[in-house]
Structure 1
């Protein structure tokens, strides 16, 4: 089995970060979200992997290289514009050949990994196999309707009246039969070749499409809120460890990871927290569920439930929470403006002035 990982797309919900960087490289607990998926693919026993990239392709190539660090052999395929998941399958035809393959969205985080799903797909081969999860608002997803045996009867993309609460989460296994399907469909109203249309085409021709559901944590890290929530989930399972320098005036509580080369001075850090190499935290309070990347500087500030990207600086901030602070960004107090009061006050008056 091969893997096809989608790492293009515009990342519009994560602007302005995605103007300058690929959303798949935004860090979760100081590791790019794409890396979690690549590690899961390798753990599932897959080696041959293609990554579909767009305008940030050079950055992804630099980060992943030939894939050997993950135990993979990586090929890169360029998609000029994000024209849909089925279009990505189309341009990967030569790479995929007639092999079964895993299709995986590179900005996904799936806590349980991929091994079980892939093993069951191999043991019970279908034309396609989909991973689903129950969601509170199915109208924002592709939705699957199943029969009593777990076979997919129908797929709908963001339906007004969903037939179930089972959402597609961007993890699929396909046989070579999908190649005929993606050639047969036409673009949707939004101008994309939808993978849901391709799967529905297969169902309509009597091909078996299986599904399984998971209730384990899953997130599409396509928004700031989702990215912060995934960061929380990953930090919850993290072990602490102090490889950097922590002075005696500092207090570390709970699971705190201080990377080699990081420095904590005169600060209180309540885990789970990860502090990257080269970062200096001084006279500050760092609260739970915060990831501070490499080469950051935090002074005289309080931060909680936030992610700081490489080279960010925060100083004199009385309280920051639920925030994503970009690479090289600087947060500092605004200068105090000189103020004056001009008064014309009558006899025997009393006036109170605010500072």
Structure 2
């Protein structure tokens, strides 16, 4: 079995970060989200991987290399334009040959890996195996309709009136039968070759399409809110470790990782949080669910529930929350800006404010 990882999308929902960076390389707990998928593929015993890339090929190729760091043999497949998931399968036809394969969307995050579903597919070998999860607003996803026995009856991409609340997770397993389905597709109303249409073709051809409803955690990390939520989840599993320098005037609370070369001085860090290699936290506060990237500087500032990418600098500002701050960003106070606090306080409250 081979793997096909799609990493050619433009990441419009994560702009402006993705104006200059690949969305698949935005870090979760200081590790690119793409790497979690590559590790899951290797853990499932798959070692040959085709990586579909677009305009950010150079950046992704620099990060992933030949794949040996993950136990993979990576072949890069160029997609000139993001024309749909099925288009990714189409351009990978020669690479995939007659092998079964797992298709993994490079910006998806799944807790628990994929080894179980890979084993199930290898054992039963349907034409396709899809993963589903229940969502609050199915209109944002590909949606599956199941019969009473749990078999897939129909699929529809981003329907106006969903037939169920079961959304497709970004992991699919296919036999070579999918290639004929893809070759028959016409662009959808979105101008793309939809993988849901390819799977529907298999169903209508009478070929078996199986599904598994997962109860574990899954996120499409396509927007800032979801990135921060995945970051929170990964940080929850941190094992505390101090490999950098923390002075006696500082306090680390809970699960905190201070990576090599990082310096924490006269500061408070409340975990779960990670301070990246070579970062400097001085006279500041880093709160829960925060990832500070390598080479960052946080001086006389407060930040929590945020992701800060490498080499960013935050100096002299009040509390920052629920933020995604890009590479080499500088955050400083505005000159002459008035400072004010808006409070709604109950009886007998006690408030401490540092002016």
**TM-score category (smaller protein):** over 0.9
Total equivalences in the alignment: 338
Q: Distance in 2 between matches of 1:129 and 1:211?
A: 5
Residue 195 of structure 2 is matched in structure 1 by 195
Superposed displacement of residue 337, structure 1: 6.6
Equivalence for 2:239: 239
1:287 corresponds in structure 2 to: 287
| Residue matched to 1:109 | 109
Greater Rg over alpha carbons, structure: 1
Q: Aligned with 2:76: secondary structure? A: strand
**Deviation of the 1:117 alpha carbon:** 1.2
Partner of 1:220: 220
Match in the other structure for 2:180: 180
**1:148, CA displacement in angstroms?**
2.7
Deviation >4 Å, runs of 4+:
none
Alignment-derived partner of residue 123 in structure 2: 123
In 2, distance between residues paired with 1:327 and 1:305?
17
Deviations 1:247-294 (A, max 9, x none): 000000000000010000000110000000110000111100000000
* Counterpart for residue 346 of structure 1: none
Q: Give me the whole-angstrom Cα distance separating, in 2, the residues matched to 1:151 and 1:2.
A: 25
Instruction: With the length of structure 2 as denominator, give the TM-score of the two structures.
Output: 0.94
CA RMSD of aligned residues (A): 0.9
CA distance in 2, matches of 1:324, 1:133: 27
| 2:12 is aligned with 1:12 | yes
Could you tell me how far apart the structure 2 residues matched to 1:93 and 1:156 are? 24
Task: Name the residue aligned to 1:312.
Answer: 312
Counterpart position of 1:352: none
Question: Partner of 2:99 in structure 1?
Answer: 99
Measured after TM superposition, the shift of residue 139 of structure 1 is 1.2
Distance in 2 between the 1:214 and 1:305 partners? 27
* 2:62 alignment partner, SS class: helix
Note the C-alpha offset of 1:158: 1.4
Partner residue, 1:41: 41
Q: Which residue of 1 is the match for residue 80 of structure 2? A: 80
Paired with 1:51 and 1:150, the residues of 2 have a C-alpha distance of: 32
TM superposition shift of 1:149 = 2.8
Give the unaligned 5+ runs of structure 2: 339-355
**Any residues of structure 2 matched to 1:126-165 within 5 Å, and which?**
126-165=126-165
Cα distance 1:337–1:6, how it changes in 2: closer, same or farther (>3 A)? closer
Query: 2:330 matched to which residue of 1?
Result: 330
Cα offset for 1:157?
Answer: 1.2
Report the equivalent of 1:168. Answer: 168
Distance 1:86 1:240 in 2: 42
Q: Deviations over 1:47-96 (max 9, x none)?
A: 00010000000110010000000000000000000000111101000110
TM-score in terms of structure 1 length: 0.94
Q: Quick check: 1:251 aligned with 2:251?
A: yes
Q: 1:114 Cα deviation (Å)?
A: 0.9
In the aligned structure 1, how far is the partner of 2:53 from the partner of 2:301? 38
SS of the residue aligned with 2:249?
A: coil
Distance 1:160 1:19 in 2: 30
Structure 1's 337 and 243: CA in aligned 2 closer, same or farther, altered over 3 A? closer
The superposition leaves residues 321-354 of structure 1 with CA deviations (integer Å, 9 ceiling, x where unpaired) of: 000011000000111279xxxxxxxxxxxxxxxx
Deviation, structure 1 residue 124 = 1.3
Q: Give the secondary structure class of the aligned counterpart of 1:171.
A: strand
Aligned-pair distance for 1:159? 1.5
**Are residue 275 (structure 1) and residue 271 (structure 2) matched?**
no
CA positional deviation for 1:150: 2.3
